[in-house]
Amino acid sequence: MQVALLVPETEWKSLLNTVSQLKAAHEAAQAAAPDPDEILTVPQAAELLGLTPEAVRRARREGRLKGIRRNEKEWGFYRSVLEKFPRRHHRQSR
């Protein structure tokens, strides 16, 4: 058994308009939302920073660079953390 609901045409058009506005607002919010922070491997982080992979590992061990455990052997680094690293720890050239 199916149920039918009769809706006046003006109310139906109003509902369709509201739905289209909500869709547009949702799409705009999705476009404006920042992408999730990308996790880079040690070699990728080293390339981004212009350091060797061992220097990146040393900075993580010394606590100068915050890393996350990807698995039992590998570490990863958020791109936003890596982008802040040179400004905090490298001296500016004169």
Give the pLDDT score at 90: 57
Tokens encoding 73 = 């052997």
Per-residue model confidence (pLDDT) at position 94: 45
pTM above 0.75, yes or no: no
Judge whether 10 lies within some domain: no
Question: Does 8 map to a domain?
Answer: no
pLDDT recorded at residue 85: 84
- Number of domains the chain is built from: 1
Q: Could you please report the per-residue DSSP string of 23-50?
A: HHHHHHHHHHSPPPPPEEEHHHHHHHHT
Q: What is the mean pLDDT of the chain?
A: 88
Evaluate whether residue 73 is within a structural domain.
yes
Query: Is 29 contained in some domain?
Result: no
pLDDT of residue 6: 93
Chain centroid to CA 67: how far? 16
Parent domain of 58: 39-89
The predicted-structure confidence for 23-32, as pLDDT tens digits, reads as follows 999 998 888 7
Regions of the chain where pLDDT drops below 50: 93-94
**pLDDT tens digits, residue range 51-61?**
999 999 999 99
